[in-house]
Amino acid sequence: MEEKRSSFTGKIGFVLAAAGSAVGLGNIWRFPYLAAKYGGGIFLLVYIALSVTFGFTLMVAEVAIGRKTKLSPIGAYRALDKRFSFVGILAAAIPMLILPYYSVIGGWVMKYMVGFLVGEAGSMAQDAYFGGYITQTAQPLVWFFVFIGLTALIVLFGVQKGIEKVSKVMMPVLVVLMVFVVIYTLCTVDGAWEGVVYYIKPDFSKFSIMTVVSAMGQLFYSMSLAMGIMVTFGSYMRQDISIEKSTHQIEIFDTGIAFLAGMMIVPACYAFSGGDPAALGQGPGLMFGVLPKVCGNMFGGTVIGVVFFLMVLLAALTSSISLMETVVSTLQDKWKVERKLACLIVLGVSVALGTVSCLGYSAWDTVTILGMQFLDFFDFLTNSIMMPIVALLTCILVSFFIKPRVIIEEVSLSGEFKWKTLFSVVIRYVAPICILIILISAVLSAFGMIAI
Ligand code: TRP
């Protein structure tokens, strides 16, 4: 089945495409609220430690699998070992579960951007605003429909390249803006420096297994690992491009943006709430609660608010497009569904699941699964259960079936694999054991069998 695959051109093509898919709401919205919730500095430390060991190993393995087989995930896992076909299918299902709730958050971002635009900055800076907003039934639903509809239109008409170009130009603007907001907050908000200490200095008494569970889930999510995305990217990668170097670049870039977003949100939240654990642990609403307050305090805050949420919206859109595109092309490749129909199916499923996530905060807020609201449940199911399973099975496949040597050879095609000892040790022993422990703790805690 030797078909000709198009490949990324130039050295930077792969890194840019992978970074484009990596940078999104995960960095700007999800990372800061987890860092605030799970103890600040200790979360940061665990995250970085996991990133240079697990993150690195897993990304190298996935990209190499893709480049070696030149297939997308379902085919790639099957080609390596028939018994592992289901891992590819499981991986391919993950983007379908992420896309709906990702778009609900995308809708919140749109709402906030428009809010700043029409001069509601003042009321958005109020404490109760965000809670009041998401508990309404109609509004959040409408914004969610707009976001997912826009994503579907872009995918349907195949104009994502245009959007991606725009967003790549905008990315530096986002970074500059974040640096500006960080400096502004630190210079003007009382108590922000104590917040910086909370964010950066590890407090080991705040460590729990949940710190590791959430840091690892976040790592998978943020770098789009353990869901076949990197296998697909690898399949388009040329042999003379270094997998090792590209992986380092993507990691540094992705973690850098997440760190900066945390710097922007965590110290400000700490300062506004006086370090109140309830405020720090509020979860998904953190960015939406804190940023309007920061903007409300600053000269020209309304303009900053509009520009900021516009940039975040673009980053979110490129990610949602790539999530939808992944599912659509899986349907096209594997089940020979026509593209238009595939788009409609994905849109339909997204609308259904996203509506559930949206209403979970309002009309259906009494319904919970394992004590979680729907949006949190989908997030937990994908990040803490499905992705660790895919990651674990990928490690087992590489370690015991195809052998790490094969991956090392693939990586070495474009120069010496410097971290190969680390790679072999992590993929054989460290990763499988740790992922298993983490997976078991996540399941047990979800069923209330252990308190962590
Ligand atoms: N990594 C993206 C972010 O940080 C989210 C994401 C997860 C994603 N899986 C993906 C994006 C697959 C594109 C494709 O927001």
pLDDT at 450: 64
444 vs 48 pLDDT, higher one: 48
pLDDT at 451 exceeding the cut of 70:
no
**How close are the terminal C-alpha atoms of the chain, in Å?**
49
Tell me which range, 138-147, 177-186, 308-317, is most confidently predicted by mean pLDDT: 138-147
- Nearest atom (ligand 1) to Cα of 22: 1
For 329-356, the pLDDT digits (tens) are: 889 888 889 999 999 999 999 999 999 9
pLDDT at 283: 87
pLDDT at 17: 76
pLDDT at 162: 74
Q: Kindly indicate the confidence band of residue 2, based on its pLDDT and cuts at 50, 70 and 90.
A: very low
- Inter-residue long-range contacts of 11-16, CB under 8 Å, 24+ positions, other chains counted: 11/241, 14/233, 14/236, 14/237, 14/238, 14/241, 14/246, 15/246, 15/249, 15/250, 15/253, 16/168
Tokens found for residue 321:
């497009």
DSSP at 342: H
Question: Which residues approach ligand 1 with their CB closer than 6 A?
Answer: 21-22, 24-27, 95, 98, 221-222, 224, 227, 229, 319, 322-323, 326
Residue with tokens 């089940």: 335
Listed in sequence order, the residues at least 6 apart from 175 whose beta carbon sits closer than 8 Å to its beta carbon are 257, 260
pLDDT at 10: 58
Listed in sequence order, the residues at least 6 apart from 21 whose beta carbon sits closer than 8 Å to its beta carbon are 224, 229, 233, 318, 319, 322
Tokens found for residue 114:
């428009």
List of E strands, 41-138: none
- Tell me, in angstroms, the distance from the centre of ligand 1 to residue 105's CA: 13
Nearest alpha carbon to residue 47 among 242, 199, 268: 199
- Tell me, in angstroms, the distance from the centre of ligand 1 to residue 95's CA: 8
Domain 28-446, second-level architecture: Orthogonal Bundle (1.10)
- Tell me, in angstroms, the distance from the centre of ligand 1 to residue 188's CA: 34
Tokens found for residue 335:
């089940």
- Tell me, in angstroms, the distance from the centre of ligand 1 to residue 319's CA: 5
pTM for this structure? 0.91
DSSP at 241: S
- Tell me, in angstroms, the distance from the centre of ligand 1 to residue 224's CA: 5
- Nearest atom (ligand 1) to Cα of 254: 4
